[in-house]
Amino acid sequence: MKSKNIFITGGNRGIGRGLVELLSADHNVVFSVRDKQKGEETIQNIGGVQASYVVMDVNENESINIAVKKMKNQMDSIDILFNNAGILIPEYDVPAIETSEDSILETFGINTLGPLRVIKSIVKLMPKGSRIINISSGMGQLDQMEGGSLAYRLSKTALNALTKILSVELSEDEIKVNTICPGWVQTDMGGSNATLTVKESTEKIVKFALMDKFPNGRFLRHGEVLPW
């Protein structure tokens, strides 16, 4: 695939940062951070990348709109969007009936509505043949749903539903939308005991994102289709 314009939300750490490192070698990459300092530190610490950043809070429409306007100065179109920014509130062992509504709403606002807000603002910059990849989780998979982490599970299940809906509605514009589980990754969210390094996970994600025969409306892990 020839050089593409790529936007990655939450690019200063974890999977987002791994994607920035891998993709910026051959593509025009812009990533989002929540404050300027994190953006500057990311550019300096990665070293040698050609990526740039915008300050964006996916939980605020005004912040997103301002960031997208600035991004237009760096790229006039977006070929691939990675909705990666997300949170996991540490309530793993808290039963659903004891989980606070505030935790659910905060998580939903960032993990589910955040990607929708970004897509609303960016889709007009996406030409035919563009791709949207929402970073989800196996914890949002209804087929193997377990207990615990109610807020996170609900937010990712809803993100999967959003993906499916958008894959139908945006097909008229020839924009394909998929959601992926990156696997259990050694990030702040996944923890040090996770089975995959960031590099191992992001190499698989990049391979999928750039593949010639890109699917639409699917939930995948490492390129393999998962049941919803």
Residue 116 burial by Cβ neighbours in a 10 Å radius (0-12, 13-18, 19+): middle
Q: How far apart are CA 22 and CA 225, in angstroms?
A: 23
User: What domain range is 123 assigned to?
Assistant: 5-225
pTM for the full predicted model: 0.95
Answer yes or no: is pLDDT of 1 > 60: no
Residue entry with tokens 């035919």: 128
Answer yes or no: is pLDDT of 195 > 90: no
Q: Which of 9-13, 44-48, 147-151, 157-161 has the lowest mean pLDDT?
A: 44-48
CA atoms within 13 A on the CB side of 4: 20
List all residues 6 or more positions away from 169 whose beta carbon is below 8 Å from its beta carbon. none
For residue 5, what is the enclosing H or E element? Answer: strand 5-8
Which CATH number goes with the domain that contains 102? 3.40.50.720
Q: Are the C-beta atoms of residues 65 and 36 closer than 8 Å to each other?
A: no
pLDDT for position 187: 79
Q: How far does CA 59 lie from the centroid of its chain?
A: 14
- How many domains does the structure of the chain reveal? 1
Work out the percent of the chain whose per-residue pLDDT is above 70.
97
pLDDT for position 217: 98
User: How confident is the model over 131-160, as a mean pLDDT?
Assistant: 96
Q: Are the C-beta atoms of residues 6 and 26 closer than 8 Å to each other?
A: no
Answer yes or no: is pLDDT of 2 > 80: no
pLDDT for position 181: 95
Task: Give me the amino acid identity at 223.
Answer: G
